[in-house]
A and B are shown apart, each in its own frame.
Chain A
Amino acid sequence: DTEVTQTPKHLVMGMTNKKSLKCEQHMGHRAMYWYKQKAKKPPELMFVYSYEKLSINESVPSRFSPECPNSSLLNLHLHALQPEDSALYLCASSRVRQGARDQPQHFGDGTRLSIL
């Protein structure tokens, strides 16, 4: 079992739907991440939250809207997605140590998203 929990595991939605992906961790980590992973490709970073504030946005289209309501939760709100957005969406968390990049990220199992 992972210490980062993502729901739902699978999601099928139409292009006009609005849905949300959820991620939760109770390791006391203050950095949380969203990644998108297409088949046979490495994960691509989408967003990073540090101390509940958005610190990195990798030029992600506005149809993806992240939210970090508290230090344990991370959401990704989806609206008007395209078929090419079908992918595995991974959430991760890590400790934050100022000036250091050595803290490993711990990943959830992901949400497999299919856009019809």
Chain B
Amino acid sequence: AQKVTQAQTEISVVEKEDVTLDCVYETRDTTYYLFWYKQPPSGELVFLIRRNSFDEQNEISGRYSWNFQKSTSSFNFTITASQVVDSAVYFCALSEAEDSSYKLIFGSGTRLLVRP
């Protein structure tokens, strides 16, 4: 069965600290896709990044970076020089196909609080 584990329930840091959010996944598929979403207090889930299983290149986007390692089934997310606006719940997700559709298997989420 597909599963996503985010072991960190809540993380609190002071502004400008770096922080890493962990994501470990389980799948039997040889081709799969992983996603990170951010959910601020307003409620909307904001898509951050997609990674496919055959591309292990790490990605950097501004202060955000992602480390994908198939050997450890992990897809970790690092925020450099955190800011108060980064405070949100972050979800890691794995896509699972069903016929012509697919669904997202979400981890339980990590709540990040960045204090001024």
| Chain B 29-69: CB-based contact to A (< 8 A → 1; otherwise 0) | 00011010100001111110010100000000000000000
A33 to B19, CA, bound (A): 32
Interface size class of A (residues with CB under 8 A): 20 to 34
Q: Which chain A residues border B47 with CB–CB below 8 Å?
A: 104-107
In-complex Cβ contact of A2 among B44, B98, B108 (8 A):
B44
Judge whether B50 and A42 touch: CB under 8 Å: no
> B72 on the interface (CB 8 Å rule)?
no
Contact residues in B for A31 (Cβ distance below 8 Å): 101
Name the distance in Å between A23's Cβ and chain B's nearest Cβ.
12
Minimal Cβ-Cβ distance residue in B for A90: B45
Give the number of residues in B that approach A within 8 Å (Cβ atoms). 28
User: A43 at the A/B interface (Cβ < 8 Å)?
Assistant: yes
Given contacts A42-B91, A55-B99, A56-B98, contact A105 B43 (CB under 8 A): no
A76 within 8 A of B: no
Find A101's partner among B37, B43, B102, B111 (CB 8 Å cutoff).
Answer: B102
Please tell me if A59 contacts chain B, counting CB pairs below 8 Å: no
Question: B52: which A residues are within 8 A, CB to CB?
Answer: 102
**B95 engages A101 (CB within 8 Å):** yes
State whether A56 and B101 are in contact (beta carbons under 8 Å apart), knowing that A106-B47, A110-B43, A110-B44 are contacts in the complex: yes
Given contacts A90-B45, A102-B52, A112-B43, contact A50 B107 (CB under 8 A): no
| Cβ-defined contact, B45 with A98, below 8 A | no
Chain A 32-65: CB-based contact to B (< 8 A → 1; otherwise 0)? 0100000011110100101100011000000000
A51 CB, nearest partner CB in chain B, Å = 8
Residues of B within 8 A of A (CB): 32-33, 35, 37, 42-47, 50, 52, 91, 95-104, 106-109, 111
Beyond known contacts A92-B45, A102-B33, A109-B43: 7 more, CB 8 A cutoff: A2-B44, A41-B109, A101-B95, A101-B97, A105-B104, A107-B37, A109-B44
A residues sitting closer than 8 Å to B (CB atoms) are 2, 31, 33, 40-43, 45, 48, 50-51, 55-56, 88, 90, 92, 96, 98-99, 101-102, 104-110, 112
